[in-house]
Amino acid sequence: MKLTLVAATGATGRLVLEQASAAGHEVTAVVRSPGKLPSGVGAVRADLSRPDPGVLASAVAGADAVVSALGATSKAEAGVAATGTRALIAAMRAAGTRRLVVLSAAPIGTVPTAARPDKPRHDPGDGFLLRRLTPIVKRALAAHYADLAAMEDAVVDSGLDWTIVRPPQLTDKPAAGRWRTQVGHNPRNGFTIARADLAAAMLAAVSDPAAVRRVLGVAY
């Protein structure tokens, strides 16, 4: 399969790249710094905080699917997920590329936006402890989560064959090779998932027809 991978040098994106390459997929990596990529990986240099439509068009042309691990890594970068993903969607529409898998976060189903102001107070999968911890985390990461919520709106309204993957707290532990998936909300009391298993879940979603136009909560 021919994949375009956005943010391929990030903490999660590099694992998606590693696993996709090991599985024999042809990967074009969209990154700010191609020099950070392993040798032999096709690269397109792009800054998604200031996206160039022509550059993105060349990156997605001919791809079977686009996988995005794009997200802000600091408060100063908040907005990059929504801005970059909107530009990516426009490029995909122009190129006729339809399959899109994006990385979000477990709390985003409860983050209201201008387009969707009536989000539930709690995710159905969150138990007693998570219902008390999540509001604290949402306040601390308000700008980051607002960015991801706006990104999700753009994806859902895109008309593409999208999947949104929402993990809880990420760890750098070795892959367990297993995880739970829940359609539409978070797995019950799912607190963590290793980035390596998240990467595998994202790649599995690419070729899963049941995942199209669905939000997937993934966790242990």
* The one-letter amino acid at 131: R
Q: What pLDDT was estimated at residue 74?
A: 84
**pLDDT reading at 176 higher than 90:** yes
Mean pLDDT of 139-148: 92
For residue 75, name the pLDDT band (cuts at 50, 70, 90): confident
Structure-block tokens of residue 79: 């907005």
- Contact in structure between 150 and 119 (CB atoms under 8 Å): no
Nearest one of 150, 199, 159, 162 to 65, comparing CA atoms: 162
Q: What pLDDT was estimated at residue 211?
A: 99
Q: Where exactly are the structural domains of the chain?
A: 2-219
Which of the four CATH numbers 3.40.50.720, 3.80.10.10, 3.40.50.300, 3.20.20.70 does domain 2-219 have? 3.40.50.720
DSSP 129-144: HHHHHHHHHHHHTHHH
